[in-house]
Each structure stands twice: as structure tokens, then as C-alpha cells.
Structure 1
């Protein structure tokens, strides 16, 4: 009798899981397609593009969930009330029609489902995957941060101006404006490197998790700080090149690096430096553990 009772329960759980998956697809597939279309075609607001690291971040989060599926099954089912609260809030956000709230409803809904079915243990198990989803969710936080980037914009302009004067170019700097051979170049807020900084820290977190170094607090802090410094230096070099190209009339190179695939190539090379750095840290930890 017990066996006969367990079989229907298993079937009910199986059907419930697929119903939830189907509902999530129906609700959020259009939203995710909208995100990816904006990231790939750059046909959406600048603030949205700040989260283009989600192109690789969301699949990576899905991969983490897949690798932990057996551990998830082994957790006892536990209907935690906090999960239901988050599901209600996520639903309100989704149906509000407000861009940021609709976007944020996605990680909130996933978090609510984890807590509702597996309690706090489920949240801890899937916590890192949920963090990757949250940090890839487009919102207007960069827009709120941009006004505070003015000191960084001025610093970039000053350094770029100093470098260009070493090549005997006629350069003057006023606040965030570079005048190169009477051609004006503005270090705008979205040129201050915030997008590159966000991407560097996000990819850095992915690399730390992938290599297992995330468990080492000191190395993780060192790596993320190094990633931020690499991003800032790389952005200064990029802005210097842009000012050089624009000031010397090389409009083709300017467009290639500023709006074309050259900018993507430059960012990819910078992220490649993070891979080199993480490999160096892995080698260091291996030697340290052997000694």
C-alpha cells in the first residue's frame, strides 16, 4: 500500500515541476529574448547594455543549477512562508508593467521558488546561481551611479591629455573635455568605464567560482581589486586612443574602436588578462599547498 501511495506522490511532484517550468517559460521567455536582443544588437538603452555580461552569465547560472540538481533532489521538501511572500512580491512586480520591476521580478521569482520548495537550505544551495542572475538583471542602477563618476571622468581626461602631450600633440584639457588639434573629445559618463568595470567584476566572480578560489577570501578580494584596476587602466588607454584617432582625423579607426567590433575585441582582450591572472593565482595556490 505504501508503495502504491508513493508512486502517485512522485507523479504529482513530477507534474508539478513541469507545470512550474512551463509557467516560467511562458512568463519570462519573452523578457529574456528582449534582454538578449538588446545585448546582441545594442538597440536598447545604454543602462541596459551595462548588463551585457548576462550573455554568458545567465547560461553560466543555468549550468550551476544543472550541476547541483542531485543535491537539490536530496534536500527535504519544506514549504517556507518567506518563499510565498517573495512569489507574491515577484508577481506584483511582473504585472506592474514598470521596466525595472518587471526585470527584477525574474530573480525574485526564482528566489521565491527555491525558498518555497526547499527552504533556506535550497536558497543556500542555489545562492551563487541566483547572485549571477541578479547581477545580470538590467536595471537603472548605473544611471543612478553615473553622476558620481565625474571625478573618474576628469581623471581619465587628465591622464589621456598627459599621455598625448608626450607625442607632441596640441592637447588641452578642460574638466571632462579633451581638445586635440582643435578637435573636441568628451569623456562622457558612459565612457568612464563603468560598463567595463561591471563586466570585469562579473566575469571575475565567474572565474573565482569556476576555479574554486571563491572559497579563499583573501585571494578573491585581491583578484577582484586587480580586475577593477585592470579595467580602469584599460579604459584610460582606450579613451586615449579614441582622443588620438579623433584629433588626428582618423575617423575610421575612431568609429571602429568606439562603436564597431574593435571595442568588443578590446574588451575581450582585457578579459583575457583576467584569465591569465586567475591562472597565475591557481599556480600560486598549488605551489603554496605543496610547500
Structure 2
């Protein structure tokens, strides 16, 4: 009798899970395809390109959730009322047709399902996948932050000008503009390194989770601050090179580093430094002893 009861329950559970996966696929497959196409072809808005780290972040989140599937199935089925609220809000956002709200509905619906199906325990279990999904969801947040980047633009222009002067180049710096041999280069808001900074912090968070260092708060903070520093320094060097290439008439090198695969290669090398850094921290920085 017990076996006969377990079979229908198992079938019902798997059918429910399959139905939820199919429903999510029907609703959000077009959205995700649009994101990926925009990130890969750079056909999405400039602000939403800032979230291109989702190219690796979303599969990473799915991988974590898949590896936790046994723990998920062992959690008791508990409906939390906050889950219904998030599902309703997510549904309204999706139905609004507004790009940012449709995007935001994705993490809201996922969090709502966790709460509705497994309660607080389910939300805690899927905390990291939800964080990676939320931080990879394109919004216009960079558009709101860009006006605040003006001091960073001036700092980058000043440091780049100082470096070029050391190589006996005729450089004049005015606010965010560099004049080299009659050529003008602007450190625009999109050149201030915000995208690289967002990507560095996101990948840094992925590395912290993957290596388990995230459990040590002090080491995590130090690592993320170091990642931000590496990002800023790397962007200063990149802007210095772009100014040098443009000012000396090397248009090919300028476009290679600015518009072509040279910029992607440069970013990949910078992210590689984060891997080296976290490996060094694991091998040489003693874990903080428990109090």
C-alpha cells in the first residue's frame, strides 16, 4: 500500500515540476534569447550591455540550482504568502510590456516560486542562484549611475595625461578631454570603466562562491575591493593606450582596442588576474579563526 501511494505522489511532483519548467520556458525563453543576442551582437542598448556578464552568470546560476536539486526535493512543501505576492508582482511586471519591468519580472517570479513551493528554506537554498540572476538582469540602473561617474572620468583623464607626458608627448588635459598632437580624445561616461567594474565585481562574486572563500567575510571584502582596484587601474591603462593610438595617428590599433576584439581580449586578461588573485589568497592568506 505504501508503494502504491508513493508512485502517484512522485508522478504528481514530477509533472508539476515539468509543467513549471515548461511555463517558465514559454514565458522567458524569448526574453533570454533577446538578452543573449543583444550581448553577443552588441545590438542591445548601451546601458543593458553593462550586464553582459550574464553570458556566463546565468548558466552558472542554472548550474548551481541543478546541483542543489536533491536538497531542493528533500525540503518540505511549504507555501509562504510572500511567494504569492512576488508571483503577482512579477506577473504584473511581465504584463506591463515595459522592457525593464519585463526583465525584472524574471528574478521576481523565480524568487516567488521558491517561496511558494518551499518557503523560506527554499529561498535560502536558492539564494546564490537568485543573486546571480538578479545581478545579470538588464535594467537602466547604469543610466542613473553614469552622471555620478564624472569625477572618475576626470581622474582617468588626468592620470592618462600624466602618464603620456612622461613619454615626452605634447598632452593637454581639460576636464575629461585629452588633446594630443591636435587630436582630441574624450573619456566619455561609457569609457569610465563602469561596465568593466560591474563585470569584475560579478565575476569576483562568482569566484568567491566557486572557491568557498565567500564564507569568509573579511577575505571576500578584501578580494572585491582588490577586484575593483584592478578594474580601475586596467581602465586607466586602456584609456592611456587609446589616447596614445589616436593622438599618434594609429587608427588601426585604436579601433582594434576600442571597437574590435582587442577590447574583449584586454578584458579577458584583466579577469584572468582575478583568478590569479583568488588562488593566491587561498594559498597564502590564512583563514580567519572562529571567535
Q: Which residue of 2 aligns with 1:198?
A: 198
Cα distance in 1 for residues equivalent to 2:45 and 2:31: 15
Deviation at 1:5, TM superposition (A): 3.2
Cα distance in 2 for residues equivalent to 1:79 and 1:45: 38
Q: Which residue of 2 aligns with 1:17?
A: 17
Q: Which residue of 1 aligns with 2:52?
A: 52
Deviation at 1:285, TM superposition (A): 4.2
Cα distance in 2 for residues equivalent to 1:204 and 1:193: 16
Q: Which residue of 2 aligns with 1:249?
A: 249
- For the residue of structure 2 that corresponds to 1:36, the secondary structure is helix
Q: Which residue of 2 aligns with 1:184?
A: 184
Q: Which residue of 2 aligns with 1:104?
A: 104
- For the residue of structure 2 that corresponds to 1:172, the secondary structure is strand
Cα distance in 1 for residues equivalent to 2:219 and 2:287: 14
Q: Which residue of 1 aligns with 2:260?
A: 260
Residue 100 of structure 2 contacts residue 140 of structure 2 at CA under 8 Å; is this kept in 1? Answer: yes
Residue 216 of structure 2 contacts residue 287 of structure 2 at CA under 8 Å; is this kept in 1? Answer: no
Q: Which residue of 2 aligns with 1:154?
A: 154
Cα distance in 2 for residues equivalent to 1:56 and 1:95: 28
Cα distance in 1 for residues equivalent to 2:272 and 2:64: 22
Q: Which residue of 2 aligns with 1:172?
A: 172
Cα distance in 2 for residues equivalent to 1:288 and 1:46: 41
- Listed one character per residue, the Cα deviations across residues 72-130 of structure 1 (whole Å, up to 9, x for unaligned) are 11110001111111001000000100010000000111000001000000000000110
| 1:263-274 to 2 correspondences below 5 Å | 263-274=263-274
Deviation at 1:168, TM superposition (A): 1.0
Cα distance in 1 for residues equivalent to 2:214 and 2:11: 38
- Listed one character per residue, the Cα deviations across residues 251-271 of structure 1 (whole Å, up to 9, x for unaligned) are 000000001000000000000
* TM-score where L is the length of structure 2: 0.97
Q: Structure 1: give runs of 5+ residues left out of the alignment.
A: none
Deviation at 1:200, TM superposition (A): 0.3
Cα distance in 1 for residues equivalent to 2:69 and 2:136: 22
- For the residue of structure 2 that corresponds to 1:100, the secondary structure is helix
Alignment: residue pair count: 289
- For the residue of structure 2 that corresponds to 1:116, the secondary structure is helix
| 1:202-241 to 2 correspondences below 5 Å | 202-241=202-241
Cα distance in 2 for residues equivalent to 1:182 and 1:45: 32
Deviation at 1:288, TM superposition (A): 8.5
Deviation at 1:43, TM superposition (A): 1.1
CA RMSD of aligned residues (A): 1.2
Q: Structure 2: give runs of 5+ residues left out of the alignment.
A: none
Cα distance in 1 for residues equivalent to 2:288 and 2:74: 36
Residue 216 of structure 2 contacts residue 288 of structure 2 at CA under 8 Å; is this kept in 1? Answer: no
Cα separation, partners in 2 of 1:69 and 1:285, compared to 1, 3 Å: farther
Cα distance in 2 for residues equivalent to 1:145 and 1:266: 24
Pairing 1:114–2:114 present: yes
Deviation at 1:4, TM superposition (A): 2.9
Deviation at 1:2, TM superposition (A): 4.5
* TM-score where L is the length of structure 1: 0.97
- For the residue of structure 1 that corresponds to 2:126, the secondary structure is helix
- Listed one character per residue, the Cα deviations across residues 9-58 of structure 1 (whole Å, up to 9, x for unaligned) are 22112111111100000000010000000110101111111000000000
